[in-house]
Structure 1
């Protein structure tokens, strides 16, 4: 894989307050450039939600209402996050969730494409019993020694997802092959289905 051929790409992860639909309480966006993670220019935001964090969500990611007290509301950081994401490709694990949450909070945001590392893993590592982030970390053994925070925080999960993406990308010769395996139908960047030839 020639990583220099990749377009601008951000690996993202979001955490919510546990409601449906969620209010976002944490967003992380980690640039991948030339096959390397660029922690020095990564974006990270905490936000106080309109609705309280549920006890279940707080147990998962540790972001309690007390932790988020005094953090900016989404309206205060939305423009900054939108500008940071720009029109770059994004990658996420189970990307439908992160993409839909971000798109709901940033109505004018349009990424160039959306890579789903969950979908990619099912093609790259067929036959695994599970394809959760934890299961893939156990299978692929990426180097997480420099991962910030802890599991289920957006910064850690974005770092782990980025490492898994780079590991899986080595199984493909070209960006086009990677995209064909990794972008879910209906999401930005999905290859157009081949049209059946017609008489007309």
Structure 2
């Protein structure tokens, strides 16, 4: 064994599974190559998933129900598997897949499994950036490796990763590989007050995260396409002495399947922070403030007056469900902000203060805006009421609050790029009722009836944008049965 190949204890891992979804599918085979100063040792085992395997998986792997019926369950294998994995760098192709499945299987048994991981897809991309494809079959061909056994069987694929590792060490300087590996494994030095388990706990998944200081004070709130990568980037040596890290006491996060889920998790974290503690001034520009928005939430509603003009009247979310009300324009956190925005719009479009309710209509003569030459004079007969109403409608059109367009709730289907995480966002009247992971959980939640949550403008805007973009799966559902 060349010591340069093995700077620390390694384990090359491949799993075969009943599908690609962490929540619903199970491991059906484990293959390991354990490598350390004493040499390389192989271990493989079939795993009874306690559920039928699909014909597709059987066709891909050659593993069928008959082969698995007498195999041990994961619970029976867990102690010996933990012993083989403990204290080693876990190396896998698309490591997020294998590590995610292992963590889920152990979690079902009440075991928190953590291990440093290295993805050979990412390693190949860094070592050979001139190539565009880095799937395992391509790497086998590119580097002239021999397949010992059947592809898509766990031990055969784990052997290929060990062969690939040795091949790369023969082709490239050891220092180059070690530098890239250190960067990819990403184990920065955390502040003394932060639990070092954070490094292993952070998932390579989309989501949102928050940094908290003393007394639960929110220091930072962001969403991320890769939580692990983005959170650990805050702990580089260059940032170690920043006020943010000096004040940091806790990191929290919420995983998601994709961008919609990440945005919704950001709102969730913001609401939790607003309800549980004081806010700090370091929040990112444009960050969500859903928790504070509910109190005093208001909108302008156009109402017809006797003289034929349409006048905006302020209505409040505590009195009216903004999700189903007609003729609402703009959503504002307070009466003051709503009035300021309407006045700004009136000045920009040369609308009449009196007809908009921004000036005392009982006083004779021109409105204050006309005297400032920012009204076309409907208040003194220089413009018709009908024309002014048409201009008001045009000016307000882009601020219109869209009523909920479905008869019942809607399911938004989101999957991550690898198909390993699937989320069902159950939405009703622009409210996020729940985020679920399988059909059984969905039906159980539907049976509980509609949500009693208040209308939230941030959730309304996020979901509205995704519906308008048309890039997410939709499943309209029948109305809740009361």
Show the counterpart of 1:108: 112
TM-superposed CA distance for 1:134, in Å, is: 0.1
- Please say if residues 6 and 36 of structure 2, whose CA atoms lie closer than 8 Å, have aligned partners that are also in contact: no
Partner Cα separation in structure 2 for residue 197 and residue 167 of structure 1 = 37
Show the counterpart of 1:129: 132
Gaps of 5+ in 2: 188-197, 201-228, 244-482
Show the counterpart of 1:20: 21
Secondary structure, in 3 states, of the residue corresponding to 2:67?
A: helix
1:49-105 alpha-carbon deviations (Å, 9 max, x no partner): 122112211111111112211111111111111111112111001111011111111
TM-superposed CA distance for 1:198, in Å, is: 5.6
Show the counterpart of 2:237: 194
Partner Cα separation in structure 1 for residue 240 and residue 155 of structure 2 = 47
Secondary structure, in 3 states, of the residue corresponding to 1:71?
A: coil
Secondary structure, in 3 states, of the residue corresponding to 1:42?
A: strand
Show the counterpart of 1:151: 151
Partner Cα separation in structure 2 for residue 129 and residue 176 of structure 1 = 22
Matches within 5 A, 1:12-161: 12-18=13-19, 20-21=21-22, 22-33=25-36, 38=40, 41-106=41-106, 107-111=111-115, 113-144=116-147, 147=148, 149-161=149-161
2:185 to 183, 194, 198: 183
- Please say if residues 53 and 64 of structure 1, whose CA atoms lie closer than 8 Å, have aligned partners that are also in contact: yes
Secondary structure, in 3 states, of the residue corresponding to 2:239?
A: coil
Partner Cα separation in structure 2 for residue 62 and residue 187 of structure 1 = 37
- Please say if residues 6 and 35 of structure 2, whose CA atoms lie closer than 8 Å, have aligned partners that are also in contact: no
Q: 1:4 to 1:62 in 2, by over 3 A?
A: closer
TM-superposed CA distance for 1:197, in Å, is: 6.9
TM-superposed CA distance for 1:193, in Å, is: 2.8
Number of equivalenced pairs:
193
Computing the radius of gyration from Cα coordinates, the structure with the larger value is 2
Secondary structure, in 3 states, of the residue corresponding to 2:21?
A: coil
What TM-score do the two structures reach when normalised by structure 1?
0.83
Q: 1:153 to 1:5 in 2, by over 3 A?
A: closer
Secondary structure, in 3 states, of the residue corresponding to 1:48?
A: coil
Partner Cα separation in structure 2 for residue 132 and residue 4 of structure 1 = 22
Show the counterpart of 1:167: 167
Secondary structure, in 3 states, of the residue corresponding to 2:238?
A: coil
Partner Cα separation in structure 2 for residue 199 and residue 72 of structure 1 = 51
Q: 1:128 to 1:69 in 2, by over 3 A?
A: same
Regions of 4+ moved over 6 Å = 184-187
Partner Cα separation in structure 2 for residue 47 and residue 168 of structure 1 = 32
TM-superposed CA distance for 1:13, in Å, is: 0.5
Secondary structure, in 3 states, of the residue corresponding to 1:195?
A: helix
What TM-score do the two structures reach when normalised by structure 2?
0.37
Secondary structure, in 3 states, of the residue corresponding to 1:142?
A: coil
Show the counterpart of 1:11: 12
Partner Cα separation in structure 2 for residue 198 and residue 72 of structure 1 = 51
**Structure possessing the higher relative contact order (Cα contacts under 8 Å, 6 or more residues apart):** 1
TM-superposed CA distance for 1:37, in Å, is: 6.5
- Please say if residues 18 and 28 of structure 2, whose CA atoms lie closer than 8 Å, have aligned partners that are also in contact: yes
Secondary structure, in 3 states, of the residue corresponding to 2:60?
A: helix
